[in-house]
């Protein structure tokens, strides 16, 4: 296979995505950082192109150049997610820890540059440090999303909130985790099997190409995953009702209470649950609950409740004692009142029908 031609083909696709984001209506902070992600991918392509064209040799110091480029990728994705959530970048003293991988590799590069016999060892060490970031940053991103929604634990269920707007975030997190596996094998397999490096390079290039196609598919199938300049900046922009005195801090406290009630008392299992009843259980006025869900979580009360019911259905579907239940019976067990409401909610939160979901389980 002619790798340089493959690189040119892959690059053209990413450049097309960059050109789309240059349009005026896409000039937002999240989309600017998304362009940086694409530029980082192009940088990988350039390195591979020059390497396989013979402009970069393994004996030179140039192979180390790919290390800071690859280190930057997960960091840029992290700040992309932050911009999607908050509409801005937040820097604290803890943010300085993001510089640690660069400092470590700068130190290793000094050793690498001044070495002759241990060059390959130092390069391997630097690459393993960067590869670890591709699994560390998805965890950090899940933690950031959980903090944003005031939820405990790390779970992909975090993406069920504002699902359409965070679809691209979910894709990037998932692909970064897969990339971790590819890079781990690519970095260390040549230690045990000689001559495997070109094959792993091709696999890595195909993965980057697949990433470009996946991003394109998400953008086309769900345009709201791109953030327009005419829209509210960030998902964290708390939108108060007129003449309301509810602050964002108070709304976040309300979410903590509401989520705790939902997780411990499971009121959503009651098909007759309404805003007034939920208000009494949370000891928060119905007006505040409505404003909190709408203004902070960008959802309706019904969506908030039905989201828990869909997740309950998915849990029941894998339990042995419910294996003979029909789909509708499981839906009623999860708290749904009608078949139509259940089907609509399930499709909305999973992009699948209940039948498709159960078929995939089987």
DSSP codes joined into one string, 332-355: HHTT---HHHHHHHHHHHHSS-HH
Nearest partner of 285 among 309, 266, 310, 258, judged by Cα:
258
- Identify whether 182 is part of a domain: yes
Residue tagged 């002619």 (tokens): 2
Q: If you ran DSSP here, which 8-state letter would residue 101 be given?
A: H
- Identify whether 44 is part of a domain: yes
Cβ atoms 175, 212 nearer than 8 A: no
> Is 295 found in the same domain as 168?
no
What is the spatial distance between Cα 336 and Cα 330, in angstroms, rounded to a whole number? 9
Residue tagged 């001044």 (tokens): 114
- Per the structure, the complete domain to which residue 357 belongs is given by 248-361
> Is 172 found in the same domain as 257?
no
Long-range contacts of 120-125 (CB under 8 A, 24+ apart): 123/63, 123/64, 123/67, 124/187, 124/188, 124/191
- Identify whether 230 is part of a domain: no
pLDDT of res. 280: 94
pLDDT of res. 1: 58
- The domain tally of the chain equals 2
pLDDT of res. 116: 79
Nearest partner of 76 among 148, 68, 160, 184, judged by Cα:
68
Q: Tell me the C-alpha to C-alpha distance, in Å, between residue 308 and each of 142, 161, 186, 269.
A: 19, 11, 40, 9
From first to last of the 362 residues of the chain, give the pLDDT tens digit.
577 887 888 788 888 889 888 888 888 888 899 999 999 989 888 888 888 888 877 666 777 777 888 899 999 999 999 988 887 888 889 999 999 999 998 999 888 888 878 888 888 899 999 999 999 999 999 998 888 776 767 676 767 666 777 888 889 999 999 999 999 999 999 989 988 988 888 898 889 888 888 988 888 887 777 877 666 556 665 565 666 778 777 887 888 899 889 989 999 999 999 999 999 999 999 998 998 888 777 788 999 999 899 999 999 998 888 888 999 999 999 999 999 999 999 988 888 899 998 888 77
- Give me the CATH number covering residue 295: 1.10.10.60
pLDDT of res. 270: 94
pLDDT of res. 62: 73
Instruction: Please give the structure tokens belonging to residue 182.
Output: 């590819």
> Is 292 found in the same domain as 253?
yes
61 SS3 class: coil
Neighbours of 144 (CB within 10 A): 16
What is the spatial distance between Cα 196 and Cα 138, in angstroms, rounded to a whole number? 28
- Identify whether 240 is part of a domain: no
- Identify whether 237 is part of a domain: no
> Is 148 found in the same domain as 26?
yes
> Is 264 found in the same domain as 206?
no
- Burial bucket for residue 196 (CB in 10 Å: 0-12, 13-18, 19+): middle
What is the spatial distance between Cα 321 and Cα 330, in angstroms, rounded to a whole number? 11
Instruction: Please give the structure tokens belonging to residue 312.
Output: 């309950």
pLDDT of res. 204: 87
> Is 356 found in the same domain as 306?
yes
Element housing 200 (H / E) = helix 197-221
Instruction: Please give the structure tokens belonging to residue 350.
Output: 């999973």
- Identify whether 299 is part of a domain: yes
Which of 225, 240, 274 finishes a domain?
225
> Is 185 found in the same domain as 46?
yes
- Identify whether 88 is part of a domain: yes
- Identify whether 11 is part of a domain: yes
> Is 314 found in the same domain as 211?
no
Q: In residues, how long is the chain?
A: 362
Residue tagged 């670890």 (tokens): 132
Q: What is the dihedral of CA 158, 225, 85, 269, to 10 degrees?
A: -30
> Is 205 found in the same domain as 77?
yes
- At 270-314, the pLDDT tens digits run 999 999 999 999 999 999 899 888 877 778 899 999 989 999 999
What is the spatial distance between Cα 102 and Cα 214, in angstroms, rounded to a whole number? 29
> Is 136 found in the same domain as 90?
yes
User: Number of H helices and number of E strands within the chain?
Assistant: 14, 0
- At 302-333, the pLDDT tens digits run 999 998 999 999 999 988 888 889 999 999 99
Instruction: Please give the structure tokens belonging to residue 13.
Output: 């696709």
> Is 158 found in the same domain as 272?
no
pTM: 0.69
> Is 217 found in the same domain as 82?
yes
């Amino acid at each position: 296979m002619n790798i340089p031609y493959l690189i040119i083909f892959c690059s053209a696709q990413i450049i097309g995505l960059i050109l789309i984001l240059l349009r005026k209506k896409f000039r937002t902070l999240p989309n600017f950082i998304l362009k940086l992600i694409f530029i980082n991918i192009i940088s990988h392509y350039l390195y591979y192109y020059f390497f396989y064209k013979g402009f970069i040799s393994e004996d030179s110091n140039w192979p180390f150049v790919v290390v800071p480029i690859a280190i930057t990728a997960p960091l840029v994705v992290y700040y992309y997610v932050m911009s999607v959530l908050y509409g801005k970048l937040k820097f604290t003293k803890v943010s300085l820890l993001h510089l640690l991988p660069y400092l470590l590799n700068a130190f290793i590069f000094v050793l690498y540059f001044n070495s002759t016999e241990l060059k390959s060892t130092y390069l391997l060490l630097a690459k393993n440090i960067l590869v670890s970031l591709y699994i560390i940053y998805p965890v950090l991103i899940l933690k950031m999303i959980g903090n944003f929604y005031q939820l405990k634990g790390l779970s992909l269920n975090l993406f069920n909130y504002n699902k359409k707007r965070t679809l691209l975030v979910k894709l990037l997190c998932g692909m970064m985790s897969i990339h971790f596996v590819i890079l781990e094998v690519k970095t260390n397999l040549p230690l045990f099997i000689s001559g495997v490096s070109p094959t792993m390079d091709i696999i890595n290039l195909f993965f980057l190409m697949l990433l470009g196609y996946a991003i394109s598919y998400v953008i086309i199938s769900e345009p709201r995953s791109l953030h327009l300049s005419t829209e509210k900046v960030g998902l964290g922009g708390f939108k108060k009702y007129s003449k309301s005195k509810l602050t964002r801090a108070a709304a976040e406290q309300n979410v903590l209470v509401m989520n705790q009630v939902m997780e411990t008392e499971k009121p959503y299992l009651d098909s007759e649950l309404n805003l007034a009843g939920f208000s009494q259980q949370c000891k928060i006025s119905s007006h505040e609950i409505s404003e909190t869900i709408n203004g902070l979580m960008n959802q309706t009360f019904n969506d908030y409740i039905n989201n828990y019911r869909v997740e309950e259905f998915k849990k029941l579907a894998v339990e042995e004692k419910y294996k003979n239940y029909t789909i509708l019976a499981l839906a009623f067990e999860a708290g749904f009142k009608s078949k139509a409401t259940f089907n609509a909610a399930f499709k909305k939160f999973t992009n699948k029908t209940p039948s498709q979901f159960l078929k995939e389980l089987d």
